Amino acid sequence: MKEMKKFILSTSIIKGIIFYDESRVSRLIEDFVLHIVGPIREEKPDILFFSTKTDGIWDEKNPLVQIRLSYDYEESQKNLIRRVIIKN
């Protein structure tokens, strides 16, 4: 993620970013938005984000996006607990 952010911030021709699934970028609920999207938006406020799970422009302030991030995080935590239980 850090390398991607550096590349985007250092390249002036990038106008948009497409990612497959925000839950696959990071397993933490706030990580992607706080550490990647936020700094990029500060330096390049006109850059557009797109996700294969969202029609149109992806916006981290959209309530549906926030719900999906929360749900994906919860599912990730459940899977982690299941893996720990299976190991023991």
Residue type for position 53:
K
pTM of the full predicted structure?
A: 0.74
The per-residue pLDDT for 70 is 83
Q: How many domains does the chain have?
A: 1
- Cα–Cα distance for residue pair 77/88, rounded to 1 Å: 17
Q: Which residue range forms the structural domain that includes residue 61?
A: 2-87
Q: What is the pLDDT along the chain (88 residues), one digit of tens a residue?
A: 788 889 999 999 999 999 887 666 666 667 788 888 999 999 999 999 998 888 899 998 999 888 888 888 888 888 888 888 888 7
H-run or E-run covering 3: helix 2-10
The per-residue pLDDT for 23 is 64
The per-residue pLDDT for 24 is 63
